[in-house]
Copies of this chain bind each other. A is one copy, B any other.
Amino acid sequence: MQITVMQNVLQANEKKASEIRELLKQKKIFMVNLISSPGSGKTTLLEKSLPILKEKYRVAVIEGDVETDRDAKRLDGYGVPIALITTSGACHLESVSIEKAFSALDLDALDLIFVENVGNLVCPAEFDIGENVKVAILSTPEGDDKPMKYPLLFREASLVILNKTDLLEHVNFNSDNFYSDLKNLKGNLEVIETSCKNGLGIDEWIEWLQNKIENL
C-alpha cells in the first residue's frame, strides 16, 4: 500500500517535471537544482555567483526551506527575483513546488534559475523537478566518504562542487579517496573545487555554467 502510493507520488512528480522541462525549453531558461547537506554552502555559493552572473544573464532564485525565510533574506539585495518555498517540514522540493514558484516569477524575463533545494543529501535526489542539471555540493568538513554513503545524488548529478577547500588542512578529508570513490560511482563526473572564503574555483564554476547556458 505504502509502496503503491509512493510510486503514484513519484509518477505524478515525473509528469509535472516533464511539463516544467518543456516550458523551460520553450522559454530558453537554464535551471540548476542545487542539492547538498545543510550548511555545505549553497546560499554562500549563490552570494558569490549572483553578482557575476547577473551582469550577463537574467537570473532568479527559487529558495526551498523547511522553515524560515533566512536564506531568502540573505539573497535579498542581490537584485534578482527570489521565490521562497517553505515546505513546512517536508524534506525535499517536488515539481509541483516549482510550478507554484513559477507563478511568482516572470519566466519571459529570465535566462537562468537556481533552485536551492532543502538541505538534505538523501531525499531531494529522488525528485526530478524539471531542472536541466543537478549540482551536488559537498563541503570538505563532511568527509570524503559521503559519495559512497549517499550515492544516489552523486549518480544523478552533472557536477560536484567540493566546497570549503580552505578548510582542507584542518579537517579529515582524503582527496585521493574522494576522487577514487567518485570514479567508481560514475566515471565521468566533473568536479570543481571551490572556496567561497578565498574565491578559489568560483570562476571555473561560472565558466561551467556559462558553457551550459550557451549550449542550451
Is A158 in contact with chain B by the CB < 8 A criterion? no
Q: How many residues of A contact B (CB 8 A)?
A: 39
**In the complex the two chains form, is A149's CB within 8 Å of B65's CB?**
yes
Q: Mark A132-147, 1 if CB is under 8 A from B, else 0.
A: 0000000101110110
Give Cα A122 to B124, complex, Å: 12
Q: Quick check: is A152 within 8 A (CB to CB) of the other chain?
A: yes
In the complex, the count of this chain's copies comes to 2
The interface residues of chain B lying within 8 Å CB-to-CB of A121 are: 37-38, 119-120
How far is A201 from B2 in the complex, measured between Cα atoms in Å?
43
Question: Does A107 make an interface contact (CB < 8 A)?
Answer: no
Report the minimal beta-carbon distance from A139 to chain B, rounded to whole angstroms.
6
| Alpha-carbon separation in the docked complex, A47 to B148 (Å) | 20
Residues of A93-121 contacting chain B, CB below 8 A = 118-121
- Would B70 and A149 count as touching, CB distance under 8 A? yes
* A160-198 CB contacts (< 8 Å) to partner B: 164, 166-167, 170-171
- Is A46 located at the chain interface by the 8 A CB criterion? no
**Bound CA–CA A170/B171 (angstroms):** 11
Quick check: is A66 within 8 A (CB to CB) of the other chain? yes
User: Are the C-beta atoms of A68 and B148 separated by less than 8 Å?
Assistant: yes
Partner pick for A37 among B38, B67, B149, B151, CB 8 A cutoff: B38
A-B contact pairs, 28 of them (CB 8 A): A2-B5, A2-B9, A37-B37, A37-B38, A37-B142, A38-B142, A38-B149, A39-B139, A39-B142, A39-B143, A66-B149, A66-B151, A67-B150, A67-B151, A70-B145, A70-B148, A70-B149, A89-B126, A91-B122, A118-B122, A119-B122, A120-B120, A120-B121, A139-B141, A141-B141, A166-B170, A167-B170, A167-B171
